[in-house]
Amino acid sequence: MSEKDDESVDREEDDAREAEAAAPAPVGGQVAAAFGLMRYVHAIFLGGGLALAWLFIQIVDTAWTRLNLGFAWMPAPKGWMVMAIGAVAGFGTAIYMWRHPKVNRLAVEVVTELSKVTWPTRKELSASTVVVIVVSIIASIILGVFDMFWAWATDALLRI
């Protein structure tokens, strides 16, 4: 590549950066488009953090109240202390996992694959639901008839 080509490539990159910087900030629905699929990845980790916080709150509460791990010199923690411990532990774990490259890549891959799924329409979903209900009723009737037959057969054999 010549020196002239290098300069033109650099100029094009600078122009692209300037255009990106000059672009208006996303507003309203455009925010979702700007984040793309990453908003779902962030939602996964936020939901995981909430679930872990709840789990840690239950663990701390169980350890102190039900297992009587309180010592005479240390009274049982207040409710807000348990919630604070659980929240810090849960969200700390979620942030650690979010920053972990393998876990983050897995979450991104899951969201990417789910974005490729073709979800059924409401009409298709209703039709499938009706099919499942009808087949379940038919199967339960058939199993009921077999159960009555075998009950009759075993009673007949035991009376002999």
Tell me the whole-structure pTM to 2 decimals.
0.51
* Position 139, amino acid: A
Q: Do 94 and 45 meet the contact criterion of CB atoms below 8 Å apart?
A: yes
Residue 2: pLDDT above 70?
A: no
The average confidence (pLDDT) of the chain is 79
Model confidence at 7: pLDDT above 60: no
- The pLDDT value given to residue 31: 46
By C-alpha distance, which of 86, 25, 98 is closest to 54?
86
Between residues 107 and 142, which one has the greater pLDDT? 142
Q: How is the chain split into domains, by residue range?
A: 3-119, 120-160
